[in-house]
C-alpha cells in the first residue's frame, strides 16, 4: 500500500508520515528532505539557487545517506528548498527517485507537496493535511527554538504565507489536494489526535468504506 500525504509547510505532515510508517511497518520518505538536500548542495558549493543546470546536476547526484543531516531541518535550508523546488526540471529529475521508493515492498508512506497529484496519483490512500497558518507558524517557531535557533514567530508566519503562495502558484506541480484526497485539518489536534484521525481514514479505505 502507498500512503501519500501532502500539505503546506509546517502542517505536521512529516511527523504524521513517520508515525504512520511506524504504525504500519512501512518505509517512510519525507520528500521535502530531497529538495532540502539539493538546496544545501547548491549553497555549500556557492551556486545560485536559481541556476537550473547546477540544481538538476545536484538532484541527479543525491546521496540518501546524507538525508539525516540535521542542518537540512534549518530555516535557512528550508527557505532555499522552496526556491529550488519551483524549478520544474529539478522536480522532473526527482520524480523517478520518489516513484521507485513508493513502489518497493512492503509499502510506503511519503509526505510532500505533490504526491497525490503527480508522484503517486494511484496511491491507495491520499491525505491532504491542512492547518491554520498561525498555528503552523507557532509550531515551526517552537521547533526552531528547540533546535537552539533564534525564531521570531511573526517572521515565521510571514515566511509560511510566502511559501504557501509560491507553492500554490508555481508552474510545476502546484500545491493542491488531489480530487480523491481526504482532508485532515489538524489546527486543533495534537500529534496523537492527528495520527488517530489519519489511521481512521486509512482503515476506512482498507475496509472499502
pLDDT one digit per residue (tens) for the chain, 209 residues: 999 999 998 999 999 999 999 999 999 999 999 999 999 999 999 999 999 999 999 999 998 889 999 999 888 998 899 899 889 999 899 998 999 999 999 999 999 999 999 999 999 999 999 999 999 999 999 988 998 888 999 999 999 999 899 889 888 788 999 999 999 999 999 999 999 999 999 999 999 86
Q: What pLDDT does 52 receive?
A: 96
Which runs of consecutive H residues, i.e. helices, occur in the chain?
A: 13-24, 31-44, 52-60, 75-84, 88-103, 133-146, 153-169, 191-206
Q: What pLDDT does 209 receive?
A: 63
Domain boundaries, given as residue ranges, for the chain: 2-206
Q: Supply 89's cell numbers.
A: 526540471
For helices 191-206 and 13-24, the axis angle rounded to 10 degrees is 50
User: Which CATH fold would you assign to the domain 2-206?
Assistant: Rossmann fold (3.40.50)
> pTM higher than 0.95 for the full model?
no
Q: How far is CA 131 from CA 9, 189, 196, 197, in A?
A: 10, 9, 16, 14
Among 108, 88, 86, 116, CA closest to 176: 116
Amino acid at each position: 500500500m502507498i500512503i501519500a500525504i501532502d500539505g503546506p509547510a509546517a502542517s505536521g505532515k512529516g511527523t504524521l508520515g513517520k508515525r504512520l510508517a511506524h504504525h504500519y511497518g512501512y518505509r517512510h520518505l519525507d520528500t521535502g528532505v530531497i529538495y532540502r538536500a539539493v538546496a544545501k548542495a547548491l549553497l555549500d558549493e556557492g551556486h545560485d539557487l536559481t541556476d537550473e543546470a547546477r540544481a538538476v546536476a545536484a538532484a541527479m547526484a543525491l546521496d540518501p545517506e546524507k538525508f539525516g543531516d540535521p542542518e537540512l531541518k534549518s530555516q535557512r535550508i528550508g527557505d532555499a528548498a522552496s526556491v529550488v523546488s519551483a524549478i520544474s526540471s529539478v522536480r522532473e529529475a526527482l520524480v523517478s527517485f520518489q516513484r521507485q521508493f513508493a513502489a518497493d515492498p512492503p509499502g510506503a508512506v511519503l509526505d510532500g507537496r505533490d504526491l497525490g497529484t503527480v508522484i503517486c496519483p494511484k496511491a491507495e490512500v491520499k491525505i491532504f493535511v491542512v492547518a491554520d497558518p498561525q498555528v503552523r507558524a507557532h509550531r515551526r517557531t517552537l521547533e526552531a527554538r528547540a533546535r537552539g535557533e533564534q525564531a521570531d514567530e511573526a517572521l515565521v508566519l510571514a515566511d509560511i504565507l510566502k511559501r504557501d503562495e509560491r507553492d500554490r502558484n508555481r508552474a510545476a506541480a502546484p500545491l493542491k489536494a488531489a480530487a480523491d484526497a481526504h482532508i485532515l485539518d489538524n489546527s486543533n489536534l495534537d500529534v496523537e489526535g492527528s495520527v488517530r484521525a489519519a489511521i481512521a481514514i486509512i482503515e476506512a479505505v482498507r475496509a472499502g468504506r
